Amino acid sequence: MTVNRTILGRPLRGVAFDASVAAAVVLLGLAGLANQPGGGKATLVGVAMAVALLFRRAHPSVVAAVVAALALVQVAAGWGPLLFDVAVLIALYSVVKYADRLRDGILAGIVAAVGVVLAGLQTQGVIAWWAAAIYYGLVTGAVWLVGLNVRTRRFYVLSLEERAATLEREREAEARAAVAGERTRIARELHDVVAHSMAVMIVQADGARFTLDRDPETARQAVKVVADTGRQALEEMRRLVGVLREPSAPDAGAGPGAVGEPGGAGVATDPEHRRLALAELPALLDRFRVAGLQVRHTVTGEPAQLPPGLELTVYRVVQEGLTNALKHAGVGAGVEVTLAHDDDAVVVRVVDDGRGRPPVSPAPSGGHGLVGMRERVGVYDGSLAAGPRLAGGWQVEARLPLPSTSPTTEVTAA
């Protein structure tokens, strides 16, 4: 870890450098003390310039004004350019580089140009005047341009640092938002696990109680389904709750599908937290067949490669439709599950005939199955229609556009 030492609120290294520059100017003033014009008075002017240079970073415009005033005093006294006048060039460089506004640097350049003319006037002869003016002008102009170049580069580097800091903050914010969204979706998955599994267990438990005396074998099978469903739900809940408890610091190099994919089910890359996909749909249908529904499954069209989130949405729509059929139509109801793959969309239909054995106890009301389906379908700009059929029973139909299309969002209830 780098420790930045400061003195009076300023970096120690910068203060030390400025002190060295000021000391060099003082030495130049003392070097000509014996034979320079003005003698000790001129040396005092040089020392004053050196003291001003100590503040050239914090107050560059003020330092440039002070040094210019001292140089004017020197010219007015007729002492001519001296060795310590290098302080004028240092002050000019400093105001161009460190001033908040470039306007101050331009004004300092104009003042320096006037100083060049005045310095040239102190020479004898026209040729000597032109030679001195050109020499001082070239040196002063070169210093001004170097200061401008360093200033431009300095602000460029500062802009790059600020941009990098901004991108880092945005990346951290996006990572936190992605993790929060992922945990929200995992919580939704947890609700689905509990709601669907409990619905199956309630129906089977009621059936077991109803047939316990008349058909012990059927009751025993129903109790087995209750136990198997409970174990499966408990295992999936354990996985999901384990993900919610993980600190899960986001990996900056993770791809877009790793965290925060719309409609995602959880962590996609860890086998322990696998996504549910259409490949597991037959197992889901078998579980509802064991629970007592007469499920028929039809696939039409050429199946397309769907994104994982879209596959999960199809899976959850089928699961919710079968759960509603089991809860409301009852055991023995016939259910037709259809997946139609079109060129631009996949259509999911779950239709029951409503002719199952009425449940022993009324199905609990106030569930959020349709709301959850609307949310999932809405993520992919799809449409959902759910409602009773004229011929009896209930129908759920969801149309999910493929990623290459841009349909209009429409969510309705029949």
Show the tokens assigned to 48.
Answer: 């004053």
pLDDT at 409 over 50: no
Binned at pLDDT 50, 70 and 90, residue 244 comes out as low
Q: What is the pLDDT of residue 75?
A: 81
Q: How far apart are CA 64 and CA 374, in angstroms?
A: 70
Strand ranges inside 53-171, DSSP E: none
Residue 397: C-alpha distances to residues 40, 293, 329 (Å): 100, 19, 17
Of 18-27, 100-109, 299-308, the range with the lowest mean pLDDT is 299-308
Average pLDDT on 364-380 reads: 67
pLDDT at 185 over 80: no
- Residues 384 and 412: beta-carbon distance below 8 Å: yes
- Single pTM value for the model: 0.43
Average pLDDT on 387-399 reads: 89
User: Hey, which of 112-126, 231-245, 335-349 has the most confident mean pLDDT?
Assistant: 335-349
Q: What is the pLDDT of residue 227?
A: 80
- Residues 266 and 276: beta-carbon distance below 8 Å: no
Q: What is the pLDDT of residue 250?
A: 44
Q: How far apart are CA 26 and CA 263, in angstroms?
A: 73
Q: Give Cα 143 to chain centroid, integer Å.
A: 44
Q: What is the pLDDT of residue 252?
A: 37
Q: How far apart are CA 323 and CA 342, in angstroms?
A: 26
Q: How far apart are CA 317 and CA 376, in angstroms?
A: 9
pLDDT digits (tens, 9 = 90+) for 206-230: 777 777 778 888 878 878 888 877 7
pLDDT digits (tens, 9 = 90+) for 77-100: 877 778 888 889 999 999 998 888
* DSSP-assigned letter for residue 359: P
- Residues 324 and 291: beta-carbon distance below 8 Å: no
Of 143-152, 166-175, 189-198, 282-291, the range with the lowest mean pLDDT is 189-198
Q: What is the pLDDT of residue 348?
A: 94
Helix segments in 246-350, DSSP class H: 281-291, 308-324
* DSSP-assigned letter for residue 241: H
Listing DSSP states for 186-219 in one string gives HHHHHHHHHHHHHHHHHHHHHHHHHHTTT-HHHH
Q: How far apart are CA 376 and CA 319, in angstroms?
A: 13
* DSSP-assigned letter for residue 51: H
pLDDT at 153 over 80: yes
Binned at pLDDT 50, 70 and 90, residue 182 comes out as low
* DSSP-assigned letter for residue 164: H
Q: Residue 77 corresponds to which amino acid?
A: A
What phi and psi, each to the nearest 5 degrees, are found at residue 84?
-75, -5
Of 4-18, 59-73, 314-328, the range with the lowest mean pLDDT is 4-18
User: Hey, which of 5-9, 236-240, 348-352 has the most confident mean pLDDT?
Assistant: 348-352
- What residue ranges define each of the domains in the chain, with the CATH number in brackets? 6-122 (no CATH), 168-248+261-401 (3.30.565.10)
Q: What is the mean pLDDT of the chain?
A: 77
Beta bridge pairs of residue 132: none
Q: How far apart are CA 383 and CA 58, in angstroms?
A: 64
Q: Which DSSP helix (H) or strand (E) runs through 398?
A: strand 394-401
- Residues 319 and 409: beta-carbon distance below 8 Å: no
